[in-house]
Amino acid sequence: MPTIVYLVHGMGCGTADGKPAGEAWSAAPVDAVKWIAKTCKLATPMVLDPVPATPPAGSDDPKALWIVPVSYHSVFDDFRRTAIDRRAAVRRLGVAGLLDAQIDQLASTDFFWTKCLDVLLWWADTAQARPNATALILKAITQADQLAHDVPGATVSRILVSHSLGNAATTYALRHLGTAPEWGNVGSFALWTSLANVAPFLIQTPDVYAPPLLPGRSATLVKLMDTVHHEADPIPWLLPWNAWHPEHAGVEWKAAWMAQQAAGRVRIMETQKVKAPMQRTPSITDVHGFANYLMAPEVAIRLGAAMHGGAFTAAELATINMPGACSTLPELTCARTADALAQLKQATADFRTLLPPTDPALLSSGWFQRLLRAAELLLGASGQC
Give pLDDT tens digits for 283-292: 999 999 999 9
In angstroms, rounded to a whole number, what is the distance separating the alpha carbons of residues 178 and 157? 17
Confidence of residue 185 (pLDDT cuts 50, 70, 90): low
CA–CA gap between residue 234 and residue 257 (Å, rounded): 24
Q: Is 14 helix (H, G, I), strand (E, B) or coil?
A: coil
Does residue 102 have a pLDDT over 70?
Answer: yes
- From residue 91, how far is each of 95, 141, 186 by CA, in Å? 7, 34, 43
CA gap 42, 36 in Å, rounded: 8
Rg of the chain, C-alpha, whole Å: 20
- Interval 14-48: pLDDT, tens: 999 999 888 999 999 999 999 999 999 999 999 99
Per-residue pLDDT at 211 exceeds 90: no
pLDDT greater than 80 at residue 180: no
**Residues 287, 96: Cα–Cα separation, whole Å:** 31
Q: What is the pLDDT of residue 34?
A: 98
Sequence-separated (6 or more) residues with CB below 8 Å from residue 21: 13, 14, 15
| H-type alpha helices, 310-352 | 314-320, 322-326, 340-351
Mean pLDDT of 268-293: 97
Of the candidates 91, 69, 64, the residue with the CA atom closest to the CA atom of residue 155: 64
Beta strand segments in the chain, E: 3-8, 46-47, 65-70, 157-163, 191-195, 225-230, 266-271
- At 114-172, the pLDDT tens digits run 999 999 999 999 999 999 999 999 999 999 999 999 998 778 899 999 999 999 999 99
